[in-house]
Amino acid sequence: MSRLLNQVVLVTGASKGIGRALAVGCAREGADVIVNYHTDRTGALATAAEIGALGRRAVVLQADVGRVPQIRRMFARARRAFPRLDVLINNAGITGWTPIWDTTEEQWDRVVDTNLKGTFFCSLAAAQWMREKKVAGRIIHISTNCAQLGVKNLVAYASSKAGIHGLTKQLAVELAPWKIRVNTFAPGPVQVERNLADDPDYDRSWGSMVPLDRTATVDEMVGPAVFLASDDSSYMTGQTFFVDGGWTAQGKIPAANMDQAARRNR
């Protein structure tokens, strides 16, 4: 059975990596998908093509979610394309590798604006649309287990994602009167383009830190997202859980890899 049949899902940062997997995964469950991207239009169009091949409709919309006017423009265009929104998946995010002593105000603002401010204002715009249309909507945030552990050279990233965990509870309480549910899941090490660019041996170096002894594929993030987007989670709101192979239970990090990634991303 298609758990999202004929529903409309907006996925931010859907041009590659986890975002693309989630967008296509929702389409496999019967959804039409709004594919957001910031700079990678080619990737977004490839995502849309995959969705179209599944017989579902895809609309590609550009916006930097770190900028509120662009969020408002994106949602205005989305409203012209679809009569309602059922699900928002806040996936867009940037890492911002830097040693703590080298963190500048500009770097901090860029990461926090994209990851935390963008998540809030996308959620607000989605909730306003859902409320107007009387849709019992679902809002899903994609976080990271770095927000739980504390990880070297990721102070802005981890802090912004930890903020999302608090925001999840706040939004869940605020939006419950309109039957809008808000939940978060936090991936552990995942084989995405940016991680493999930092370390071509990513699976070995990070997988060895994980009790399941491997990193995740992007497709392993689809199940948690669809669960939260569907009626399978109908009595869940305000929750954050980890999809990390047990990493948060153990809490080791490859310290040498963290220094290498910070140097490469200066």
Residue 2 lies in a domain: no
Three-class secondary structure of residue 183 per DSSP = strand
- Which pair of structure tokens corresponds to residue 226? 């669809």
Residue 59 lies in a domain: yes
Pseudo-torsion of CA 65, 70, 76, 80, nearest 10°? -80
Residue 114 lies in a domain: yes
- Which pair of structure tokens corresponds to residue 10? 């907006």
Residue 3 lies in a domain: no
CB 219 within 8 A of CB 21: yes
**Per-residue pLDDT tens over the stretch 36-89:** 999 999 999 999 999 999 999 999 999 999 999 999 999 999 999 999 999 999
Which domain does 154 fall in, by range?
Answer: 8-264
CATH number assigned to the domain comprising residue 31: 3.40.50.720
Residue 34 lies in a domain: yes
Q: Strands across the sheet with 32-37, in order? A: 58-62, 32-37, 8-11, 87-90, 138-142, 181-187, 240-243
Question: Which residue stretches of the chain are H helix?
Answer: 17-28, 41-53, 68-81, 105-112, 118-132, 146-149, 155-175, 193-198, 202-207, 222-229, 247-250, 255-264
Residue 1 lies in a domain: no
Task: Encode the chain (266 residues) as per-residue pLDDT tens digits.
Answer: 699 999 999 999 999 999 999 999 999 999 999 999 999 999 999 999 999 999 999 999 999 999 999 999 999 999 999 999 999 999 999 998 899 999 999 999 999 999 999 999 999 999 999 999 999 999 999 999 999 988 889 999 999 999 999 999 999 999 999 999 999 999 999 998 877 777 788 888 888 889 999 999 999 999 999 999 999 999 999 999 999 999 988 877 666 666 676 677 76
Flag whether the pTM goes above 0.85: yes
Active site annotation includes 157: yes
Q: How many domains does the chain have?
A: 1
Q: Which of 37, 157, 202, 235 is catalytic?
A: 157
